[in-house]
Structure 1
Amino acid sequence: MVFYSGFALCAALTGATALQIPLLSSYYQAPIGHVNETNPLVNSTELQDLISGDRLMVRAKKLYEIAKLGEEEYNHPTRVIGSAGHIGTLSYIYETILQLGEYYTISNQSFPAVSGNVFESRLVIGDGVPKSAAPMGLTPPTKHKEPVHGDLVLVSNDGCQASDFPDSVAGNIAFIKRGVCPFGTKSEHAGRKGAVAAVVYNYEKDPVSGTLGTPSPDHIATFGLSGEDAEPTLKKLEKGQRVDGIAYIDAEVNQILTNNIIAQTTEGDPNNCVMLGAHSDSVTEGPGINDDGSGTISLLEVATQLTKFNVSNCVRFAWWAGEEEGLLGSDYYVASLPEKENKKIRLFMDYDMMASPNFAYQIYNATNALNPNGSEELRDLYIKWYEDQGLNYTFIPFDGRSDYDGFIRNGIPGGGIATGAEGIKTKEEVEQFGGKAGDWYDPCYHQLCDDLGNVNVTAWVVNTKLIAHSVATYAASLKGFPERNLTVASSAYNEETKYHGPKLFA
């Protein structure tokens, strides 16, 4: 079965790092098209009725086959940026939209990105191997990709200043508390002081899953560690006792090119655009069928069914690359928008993880008090729809974990829905949604098992219908929705947001 072009497949198999598809413009503005008199104005109920679980699963099976293109390089299916699996994903999205004819214009926005791959890692502290130890995203390897030995040296404060690092860290392993500044800054300070590796431990019992961000020549091999695993070591170090360690990371960090794909209706007022997005990439560790294959596919299906209708306001679909590396694609897109183009986007809706197996119907708790005006109105649209269907819902923090973050920081109202990642489902949520208490919402989050068996089709259909409703509502009319201004997110949002994508940055 072929679902990517011969060129894209060739590029994938030869290890090309960027998909060569026609480039219209980084911010191509579609003209107002001629209304198709045979199509009715988009209607929410009618658009929702066209959503089918069978169609979603057909697309999921295609996406999993595409993920297998990554096996040669990574030894398992993956759609991480720079991989053949991601190149195939971009080709599939592009050709799906292309087949819809003149209803959409398509733009391919190429941008530089950083891709990291950890092949092996191990951290030994004293005579034990902490279970929570995990390499930071975009970490470099240990020297010569061999194990390094040293004593753990406790760093003062949060390791955000060079003066926090004692001279004794040279040739040893820096033991640094999470908090305040980016992990990359902590790693840089440790590297400049001569540490052979760094461990960032949590001040809470939970693990630390973070990224070093933009590569620096001073970064060193860096692990994250849960507060629970760190506590015994911390007590010993605070008492002046010696704790030795061994750190090993075999990894690579590469500069690549990758692509966002933007599809915009040729109909509808181009000065009032309803925008929604999902990310096209997975983590290295797996095929990402739920994260975020589910959102990618939901958008493709809604975009396909929307062609049966006319719209009053333009609808702009986006498939972002590099989300898993720290929202790279969406950040690049928003930062590239001239002020005039920024104002044309009336709102942005984020759809990341629509089908978690142990799901809850989650709404980002976006308010106008902390976010650009209109974010709360979008939140309330989701609330009303779930209530109208007789479905329960819950609120989750609007904390920068997905691609809405760049829009909020640049004054564009936003919000979204999700079904849960590595969070623990409560007994109360089992009463609301079913499932299993004490387990993750997605037990295969960021793992190899995020495959075709890792989606709840019931939740997926429900949320794709809600996506259709959100599109139909605002594509038909923005009456009553707040007008745009260029007021950026409040300082409280910036201060309280400690995530940039799925990983902590401080």
Structure 2
Amino acid sequence: MSHRRALILGALAASLCAPSTAFGLDEVNSKKLRDAVTVNGILQHERAFQAIANANDGTRASGTPGYEASIQYVKQRLVRAGYRVREQEFTFPFFRELAPAVASQVSPTPKDYTVDTFEYSGSGDVTAKLQAVRGITIPPPAEPGTTPAGCTAADFTGFTAGNIALIQRGTCDFGLKARNAKAAGAVGVIIFNEGQEGRTGLPAGTLGEPIDIPVVGMTFEDGAALYQQLQGAEVTMHITTSTEADLDATTKNLIADTREGNADETVVVGAHLDSVVEGPGINDNGSGSAGILEIAEAMSEQNIKPRRAVRFAFFGAEESGLLGSEHYVSTLPANQLGQIYANLNFDMIGSPNYVRFVYDGDGSDSEPAGPPGSGEIESIFTRYFASQGLASEPTEFSGRSDYGPFIAVGIPAGGLFTGAEGVKTPEQAAIYGGTAGEWYDPCYHQACDTMNHLNVNALNEMGDAAAHATLVLAKSRTGLFPDGSRKAARDKSKAKKFDLHSHAAR
């Protein structure tokens, strides 16, 4: 996700107990719950997730025994806390890399390259001429995500079937680029990074569905050099990938409901429980899962009686393209879908080089805005951080985590994020601490995403903010809109499309 300019919240908000006439929701005193939600409690769950990964080949990915053990751990805790708990099973296309990808230039100058296999790439061993598609832009445009290469069939005009396609990361998702290349007759695909700050290393991500040709990612430097070679010479490449895919693998969501509160206005508090295959996912997203599990247990222990029902949702297969949350939303009957009041999403809240990012629900800093009510949810977080004398800043709300399927059907949403593969700016380092020029999470989607790389200050601050927002939505006497209701006024909102893909989808 791309960072946005820092927003320094200098003035403290009024007392958290006092209502505000400028804000749809009256404030709720969350101190009791925040005091009960502790870093030690969150870390207790994180240690359990780490132990599960250690016992299961270092992963908690959906479709593996490590994920099933994670589900059973969370289920046991929530049943003990008194929640109504159910499992929701669904099928999904499972993917695993069996051996690292290999890429080398055969001619005119033999050279080996470091590449990564995209999720859902096919297995293959191909040697063919390399051909660049239309839309590659070197140097890259200033704004990330705006390079159009490979996004339309027209970009493959003149492409020779049997060649390997060279494509630049940019406007559309990786899967669309690869599918367009396959349709044009490519026998392999190299997608190199776009080239802006934070987009120079090996791109990582999902194709969203299996594609039966090798698809690998390459650094901007190597991809740009290959592109320059193609301007004056023929280049022959060799690519090898070794992967496993199961189109009908099974995994689960875990859903836990409070026993009190108005079910006609249910607040869904969600986080994805799965990791990538490559690692244990203790920050991504053990941190969000541990955080909302700690909030659920604290609400039970404090005997908090919500005005609105609260549903804690632990989604599977997020790392495969938001498949768990998409399944959950798409299978809800119309009457139950209409009962969802709002969605809160917590995906990575313990990044070691963190920033306090708040999803930009009102679209004031980035487009698009979320459905009506999302701006009010954003304000819950920004007002809370201001009351604590803490800075925060907006981050794009384009649908690239489990809130995506909710906002796609008009449900107000919001949440927190501490950063993934983006690079911390000097301005952010001056405000939040940490190291400028490094990723917010240097272990994002890697085997080193372990207990050793969590930031306990981030867990403390974001955990408290998550608890506060959960309680405000659960207990506020007023609603997200001036008449106190959850009227989404969908006919007044602009029609929007959202990319239903995980963090590094494009």
TM-score (norm 1): 0.83
**DSSP 3-state at the match of 1:258:** strand
Does residue 105 of structure 1 match 2:100? no
Deviation at 1:62, TM superposition (A): 1.1
Describe the SS at the equivalent of 1:443.
coil
Task: For residue 60 of structure 1, report the CA deviation from its aligned partner.
Answer: 1.4
**Percent identity among equivalent residues?**
35
* More moved, 267-276 vs 167-176: 167-176
Tell me if the contact between 2:102 and 2:113 (Cα under 8 Å) persists in the aligned partners.
Answer: no
1:395 paired with 2:381, answer no
Whether the 8 Å CA contact 1:343–1:485 is kept in 2: the answer is no
Structure 1: 5+ residue stretches without partners: 1-41, 72-76
Per the alignment, residue 38 of structure 2 pairs with 52
Which amino acid in 2 is paired with 1:287? P
Q: Is the 8 A contact 2:358 2:395 kept in 1?
A: yes
> Which residue matches 2:267?
274
State how far apart, in whole Å, the 2-side matches of 1:420 and 1:180 are: 21
Q: Which residue of 1 aligns with 2:67?
A: 86
1:32 corresponds to which residue? none
The worse-fitting range, judged by mean Cα deviation, of 394-403 and 253-262 is 394-403
Equivalence for 1:117: 96
Q: What is the CA-CA distance between 1:183 and the residue it aligns to? A: 3.3
State how far apart, in whole Å, the 2-side matches of 1:129 and 1:492 are.
46
Give the Cα–Cα distance (whole angstroms) in 2 for the partners of residues 488 and 57 of structure 1.
44
What is the SS of the residue equivalent to 1:87? helix
* Aligned-residue offset at 1:378: 0.6
Residues 321 and 283 of structure 1: CA distance in aligned 2, closer, same or farther (over 3 Å): same
**1:258 pairs with 2:261:** no
State whether residues 174 and 199 of structure 1, in contact with CA within 8 Å, keep that contact through their aligned partners in structure 2. yes
Give the structure 1 partner of residue 17 of structure 2.
none
Higher helix share: 1
Tell me how far apart the structure 1 counterparts of residues 492 and 316 of structure 2 sit (CA, whole Å): 24
Q: Which residue number corresponds to residue 96 of structure 1?
A: 77
- TM-score with structure 2 length normalisation? 0.83
Distance 1:467 1:168 in 2: 50
1:171 aligns with 2:172: no
Relative distance call for 1:490 and 1:480 in structure 2 (3 A) is: closer
Query: Match of 1:129, SS?
Result: strand
Distance 1:159 1:491 in 2: 28
Report the counterpart of residue 435 of structure 2 in structure 1. Answer: 436
Contact 1:411 1:486 in 2 (8 A): no
- What is the CA deviation profile of residues 229-272 of structure 1, one whole-angstrom value per residue up to 9, with x for unaligned ones? 22121122233x11121101111111301111111111001101
What residue is the counterpart of 1:485 in the other structure?
A: 488
User: How far apart in 2 are the matches of 1:182 and 1:66?
Assistant: 32
Change (3 A) 1:81 1:489: farther
> Contact 1:124 / 1:246 at 8 angstroms: preserved in 2?
yes
Partner residue in 1 for 2:412: 413
220-229 or 296-305, which deviates more: 220-229
Alignment partner, residue 348 of structure 2: 353
SS in 2 for 1:261: strand
1:179 CA drift (Å): 4.7
Name which of 329, 334, 337 aligns with 1:339.
334
- CA distance, structure 1, for counterparts of residue 96 and residue 399 of structure 2: 24
Change (3 A) 1:486 1:276: farther
Q: How many angstroms apart in 2 are the aligned matches of 1:168 and 1:342? A: 45
- In structure 2, the gaps of 5 or more residues are 1-27, 136-148
Distance in 2, matches of 1:156 and 1:428, equals 36
Tell me if structure 1 keeps the 8 A contact 2:118–2:204: yes
Q: Deviations over 1:392-448 (max 9, x none)?
A: 112211122211111111100111111111111112112211111111111111111
Say which SS state the counterpart of residue 103 (structure 2) adopts.
Answer: strand
Aligned pair partner of 2:239 in 223, 237, 247 = 247
1:453–1:423 CA distance, 2 compared to 1 (3 A)? same
* Closer/same/farther in 2, CA of residues 92 and 246 from structure 1, 3 Å limit: same
2:110 alignment counterpart: 127
Structure 1's 371 and 161: CA in aligned 2 closer, same or farther, altered over 3 A? Answer: closer
Among candidates 166, 169, 182, match of residue 191 of structure 1? 182
Q: Which amino acid aligns with 2:104?
A: V
What RMSD in Å do the two structures reach over aligned CA positions? 2.3
- How many pairs does the alignment contain? 447
Alignment of 1:4-43 (within 5 A): 43=29
Aligned to 1:137: 119
Q: Partner amino acid for 1:411? A: G
1:148 aligns with 2:126: yes
CA distance in 2, matches of 1:458, 1:339: 41
CA distance in 1, matches of 2:176, 2:357: 33
- Contact 1:209–1:224 at 8 Å: present in 2 too? yes
